[in-house]
Amino acid sequence: MVLKAAKRGSIPPFIALEVLRAANERSAAGEDVIHLEIGQPSTGAPAAVVEAAKRALDRDALGYTEALGMPALRQRIARHYEESYGLEVDPARIAVTTGSSGAFLLGFLAAFDAGDRVALASPGYPAYRNILMALGITPVELPAGPETRFQPTPDLLDAIDGRIDGLIVASPSNPAGTMLDGDALERLVAYCNRHGIRLVSDEIYHGITYGQTPITAASLTDEALIVNSFSKYFAMTGWRLGWAILPQSLLRPVESLAQNLFISPPTLPQHGAMAVFGCRDELEANVRRYADNRARLLTELPKAGFDRLAPVDGAFYIFADVTQLTNDSESFCRRMLAETGVATTPGSDFDPERGHRYLRFSFAGSAEDISEAARRLIAWRR
């Protein structure tokens, strides 16, 4: 007898993690790998975070916290907005979550019903569309390209047939690394306000920018769902901690959902996160390293034939149009890994329709790894 399996589990895989698995299998077989496939700082959490967690292990029972997180951490996140953006945010509107993934899941469940339609730029972070599909919400792809800096625009939204209930924006974006300037973000906020569209602003790469200051949508509207994370700028990926700033109308729904789905976010990382805001020197040193890695790849990748590159305003990715090299980015990435040991992510992870023509390079690793990867790719393409 074959028992039923739910259709919601038939969503596409997260290909970057599939590549990571293949890279780890190569490592386990004794072959070397340079990881340019995964968006993960190579440094780990700052030392003060680790020490704070150790102290918590010694003195705290590490039981459940409130469903929306420790009040002290929510207050500290609110203070972060005042320090970083000059913005006053009520700590009561902040929900600490199990990574930004938990924030998206809770936010999507609270804001949208099954059958609703949520627009997002393509290419974009694959988990957006995959979570939406698992929840019975329809992702509506906006075909963004170099002409819109891979970002959504009111014109792209106007071209959609049928209603739109939500819009996801990411600035800086994954995979393209592009940002919305203040005017562009204001136009999208105004568009959403006029059309009754719930804006979801993914701000997890704030802090990792190169010459342009990021703007939080929370400074433009109280009705957007703002998502951020301790994973990227704060270098706490495996600690699985994020947060959301919630519109007033979603506060109670998110709290009730969090109580039932998660009980609370993990307690030990919350203690560690209390210390991370005092680690600016260490965190800014990471950003300087990313900037150096970015400059190195922007110089070296064209020497390997990767010369059609998206602007890299922020985050730690370079998105390359490889039409002149391949029409199958997945097989190209597999061959690159097998022949050079350099792991990258195919663009099909981020754009189901056009991603076969793109690759994403992550430069979150060490300077030595980035230099060696560039050397190998140049030698491979000659």
Domain-wise residue ranges, the chain = 9-45+280-381, 49-276
CATH tag for 9-45+280-381 (out of 3.40.50.2300, 1.25.40.80, 3.40.50.300, 3.40.640.10) = 3.40.640.10
Is the confidence at residue 299, as pLDDT, over 90? Answer: yes
Can you tell me the mean pLDDT for 323-341?
Answer: 94
Indicate the residue type of 105. L
Q: Tell me, what's the pLDDT at 47?
A: 96
pLDDT tier at 17, thresholds 50, 70, 90: confident
List strand residue ranges (DSSP E) for 222-362, in order: 225-229, 242-245, 317-321, 342-343, 345-346, 358-362
pLDDT cut 70: percent of the chain above it = 100
Q: Taking residues 117-129, report their average pLDDT.
A: 97
**Cβ pair 229, 204 in contact under 8 A:** yes
pLDDT at 14 > cutoff 90:
no
Q: How confident is the model at residue 180 (pLDDT cuts 50, 70, 90)?
A: very high
- For 49-276, which CATH class? alpha beta
Residue (of 330, 235, 245, 255) closest to 13 by Cα position: 330
Indicate whether 11 pLDDT > 90. no
Tell which residue, 126, 141, 133, has the closest CA to residue 173: 126
- pLDDT at residue number 16: 86
pLDDT of 312 above 90: yes
Quote the pTM value: 0.95
- Average the pLDDT over 272-285 and give the result: 97
pLDDT at 356: 95
**pLDDT (mean) for 142-163:** 96
Mean pLDDT, rounded, for 227-252: 97
Q: Which residue has the higher pLDDT, 9 or 258?
A: 258
pLDDT bin (cut points 50, 70, 90) of residue 61 is: confident
Domains 9-45+280-381 and 49-276 belong to one CATH topology: yes
Whole-number pLDDT of residue 281: 96
Average pLDDT over residues 38-51: 93
Is residue 158 within 8 A of residue 131, CB to CB? The reply is: no
Distance CA 23, CA 8 (A): 28
The band of 7, judged by pLDDT with boundaries at 50, 70 and 90, is confident
